[in-house]
Amino acid sequence: MKKLLIGSVAALAISAGAGSAQTIGIAGVPSGFGAAGNVVQIGFSGTYSQRARGPGATHADAATMANFGFGNPVTGVGLEFGINLTSFRNFGQSGHLSFGVHHMWQAGTGIFSAALRTAYVSPWGDIRNYRPSYSLTGTYLGGIGPRMAMVSVGVGTGWGQNASDRTTRGAIGVGLGLNPQWAVSAGYVGQESIIGAVWSPPMLAGTSVAFSFRNLEESGNATFAVDIGRAFALMR
């Protein structure tokens, strides 16, 4: 089962050129932005693969996560602690912990954030033999004329088609905001190309949905994924 890529689903930003809100995000690509203090991110990811994957060798499965933020990534560093459940086949019986640090700063007319993360810490269930994975990702959020744009670049382990593979691989992605509800994106993570879209409809009140097609270049081994994410303050 593919793990959730924390912070990759979506973000809402203001376009200085247009003066209006736009949705921006890069579907299925790791992000350098993370959860700030007092913020929790909740995510759900469902996938269908043409070729059976994961410890259970299934075509369809789902994962979920809760990511808790501490600290201030603007004036210092943000800290993250995540609980990840990797399969719905036996809900809660397989999973792992994740940790991260991230910092955000102004970069010209945009914003840049970098995150260092480790996942598959203390794994249990079907993935109990997985070793920890590590990643370093940087993301820039700015504008192209009236549209918001986002670029992510990173390097990490555990980004192969087999999540237990610890070969170091790269990631790159680009997202472009279209309007207050939609953004489109394309990228490459590990061994897979990814094209997708991010949707933030008003009726979902801050919940974002990312749709992505992965590994289309390899006939008979493509994956379709739906990632649903929401962030909210723990205390007001």
Specify the 3-state DSSP secondary structure of 30: coil
193-232 burial by CB neighbour count: b if 16+ within 10 A, else e? ebebbbbbeeeeeebbbbebbbbeeeeeebbbbbbbbbbe
Q: Are strands 58-71 and 39-53 parallel, antiparallel or unpaired?
A: antiparallel
Predicted pLDDT of residue 59: 79
The two three-digit tokens of residue 18, written as one number = 């247009």
Predicted pLDDT of residue 236: 64
The C-alpha angle with vertex 2 and arms to 122 and 95, in degrees rounded to 5, equals 25
The two three-digit tokens of residue 111, written as one number = 């914003």
Cβ-contact 213, 194 below 8 angstroms? yes
Predicted pLDDT of residue 17: 47
Least confident of 68-82, 85-99, 109-123, 187-201: 85-99
Predicted pLDDT of residue 188: 96
> For 112-132, what is the mean pLDDT?
96
Query: Residue length, the chain?
Result: 236
In the chain, where the domains are located: 11-135+167-181+192-233
Percentage of the chain modeled with pLDDT above 70: 89
Distances (CA, A) of 81 to 36, 37, 117, 172: 11, 11, 10, 24
Nearest-angstrom CA–CA distance, 53 and 50: 9
- What is the end-to-end Cα distance of the chain in Å, rounded? 35
Cβ-contact 35, 68 below 8 angstroms? yes
Predicted pLDDT of residue 7: 44
Q: Write out pLDDT tens, residues 12-41.
A: 444 444 446 789 999 999 999 999 999 999
Predicted pLDDT of residue 60: 87
Q: Write out pLDDT tens, residues 198-235.
A: 999 888 888 999 999 999 888 888 999 999 999 888 87
Largest Cα–Cα distance in the chain? 50
Q: What residues form DSSP beta bridges with 79? A: 70, 101
Predicted pLDDT of residue 163: 83
Distances (CA, A) of 71 to 6, 9, 45: 17, 22, 27
Percentage of the chain modeled with pLDDT above 90: 65
Q: What is the amino acid identity at position 55?
A: P
Q: Write out pLDDT tens, residues 137-185.
A: 999 999 888 899 999 999 999 998 788 899 999 999 999 999 999 999 9
The reported pTM is 0.88
Q: Over the chain, what is the mean pLDDT?
A: 88
3: exposed, middle or buried (C-beta count within 10 Å: 0-12, 13-18, 19+)?
Answer: buried
Nearest-angstrom CA–CA distance, 101 and 157: 17
